[in-house]
Structure 1
């Protein structure tokens, strides 16, 4: 069977990765007047970092579910091997790069830069920190040399349990699945609230309660994939005015945490903000798969290439940013440092894609083929033994 590939979703992941990079540029550097005037508006859409990560989770749920709907019988062990090679091996490369950059480029705190910047590369490396990073799935201080790792911890954990989640998605209707997902998310939020407010728990954003919450976003992605044909037909039935209204709603929900009374805490509980952003992210995938105009944009070659290198760009850009700010701040204008960082990040991400990501995927495929071959050999040997009797 020919592999189903959605180029638009790859491109969407690339644009989301680029928006996370812009988000970190603005977090690290000194305050910029014109940015401060528009950051609490829907224009935050272009550098909405956390929303971009939630979109990653949604896209992962969508793509991971597709083989299950095609009745591809991949044993759990083989599925897990491919997933570990896909996520963990490029991640380990970035850990090594981060340690190297921190060792060679770190110059110390800078009061002219943000607290976000000064918190990074502030801790000494210890064997415990390195071991935690190697194993990836623990609840640990991930923020030592690359602050994006928190999302990979959840991605790896959820990948481990995803075949169980997909059983629910396949067997139950969408309403029941959403009800289960919302209930689990709210339960996770309650556990998180108790831990943060009534215990000495250190919240590194990598708690197992957080993973339960983000599991619902993977489920939502799988539901979108399951019902994509019906949703496509629904798109063709909607008039142009309604489509524009829904697209505006997409932008407003995707940026909700920033523009809707941002100082009113009760309106911006962690779980509530994520639910609203999830609505916008679902609409984004819906439009990307069904809008001819948006599809043409997402098939522009540079955007497609950005999608191809999106994982490596996500892993590497903050390491480059911290290194460049440590070495160049005060010597060059911040805008020029950002430009240099963006160029180096894209170049390194491109190299990492071809020299790390693709080989990692091939390693996973080779291991799976070896396991399948061994299994078939055992079956043949068993059959021959039975025939002797």
Structure 2
């Protein structure tokens, strides 16, 4: 038990010496769990219970689970928030170190898992190496959607990571330009105006549709909400400290509004970003919601979200393709309950191990450097043993 408790506590996110904001990991939890439920439901309908056999109520429930895609938009907004925070505090732009830190933090786990799943796909699909390799290379360099106008065949969820990278490249310049405007009301009004104008142009030009939807052109407005929230968090601290139940209610309203306005319609897209703003304001100013987000179990799971995101879909594919062999005797709700009782612990426990071993070492600022050093030391040790 003592070892399990030690392992559990070791899963707390390493912030590389920066202030740890537990509610941020709580938001990550709120983002990743709907995505997992969405993909579990999709695999259930694909492999176990065909959609045409569902009752009207089961259809409605399945539709609600399909709205879990809003979790990805929450991730986008959170990235806008996190990447903008240093510039909200007046940090100097050091683009080279900024990019280096991003790459050494997120790239090693990403390359590992994409390589692992590429090997599995190669072994299972019978694809030739020459056919698979271009997809692998374009996925590794985050350009699969641009190159093929479709999701990665290796791990489809990687599309959102491609969008994240596109934003990473421009985020410092956007944030620095925004915070160069000293008048708080003016810059916030300008950002709100720009976001509305962007959504209008986005729909006029068709960027809200595939393949542009899976690029920064289809998602920029969500990152802008995050930029706005970073401004509020840093430059309206006294206002943020005044917690109120009304903001918990705003959150409760914002979540269903986001669920049912996640479409490619212009009016609903405008309402969606307002609701996203309400959700984040609730996370900052609510009386109970920030406390909920800061609960240790939620924060730990949220802290593992990158590993969960990279690994959950292949695990669900494997699990539900196996469950499908047992037929449809238990019905939609029966199989959904049974499968989730198996799937959720499987995903969380495996992700905890993968996170601890593969991702967490690179959260340290010197993590990549230490990793390279350890490889060199092992290689040198092996060489010496061989020569002797």
TM-score (norm 2): 0.74
Distance 1:204 1:315 in 2: 21
- 1:86 has 2:101 as partner: no
State the alpha-carbon separation in 1 of the partners of residues 238 and 30 from structure 2.
26
1:337 aligns with 2:342: no
- Tell me if structure 1 keeps the 8 A contact 2:157–2:310: yes
Q: 1:219 to 1:168 in 2, by over 3 A?
A: farther
| Residues matched between the structures, number | 331
After TM superposition, give the deviation of residue 126 of structure 1 in Å. Answer: 1.7
**2:301 is the counterpart of 1:296:** no
> How far apart are residue 304 of structure 1 and its match?
1.4
| Residues 35/93 of structure 1: CA separation in 2 closer, same or farther (3 Å cut) | farther
- Residue correspondence of structure 1 range 103-122 to structure 2 within 5 A: 103=122
2:48 alignment counterpart: none
Per-residue CA distance 1:337-363 (angstroms, 9 max, x = gap) = 333222222122212221222223336
| Residues 135, 152 of structure 2: 8 Å contact kept | no
Instruction: Give CA deviations for 1:250-271 in whole Å, capped at 9, x if unaligned.
Output: 134222237xxxxxxxxx4355
1:137 paired residue among 122, 140, 143 = 143
C-alpha change, 1:81 and 1:303, in structure 2 (3 Å) is same
Write out the 4+ residue segments of structure 1 that deviate beyond 6 Å after TM superposition.
Answer: 235-239
Query: Out of 206, 209, 220, which is 1:192 matched to?
Result: 206
Hey, what's the Cα distance between the residues in 2 that align with 1:193 and 1:301? 39
Q: 1:176 is matched with which residue?
A: 190
Q: Offset at 1:106?
A: 7.0
Q: Select the residue among 24, 27, 30 that pairs with 1:12.
A: 27
Q: Which residue of 2 aligns with 1:50?
A: 69
Give the secondary structure class of the aligned counterpart of 2:326: coil
Distance of 1:318 and 1:128 partners within structure 2:
22
Structure 2 partner of 1:114 = none
Structure 1 CA distance for aligned equivalents of residues 228 and 78 of structure 2: 11
Residue 257 of structure 1 is matched in structure 2 by 261
Q: Could you say which residue in structure 1 is the equivalent of 2:88? A: 69
Aligned CA-pair RMSD: 3.3
Query: In structure 1, how many angstroms separate the alpha carbons of the residues matched to 2:351 and 2:267?
Result: 34
1:37 aligns with 2:43: no
Which residues of structure 2 form unaligned runs of 5+? 1-15, 46-50, 182-186, 373-388
| 1:19 and 1:52 in contact (8 A); partners too | yes
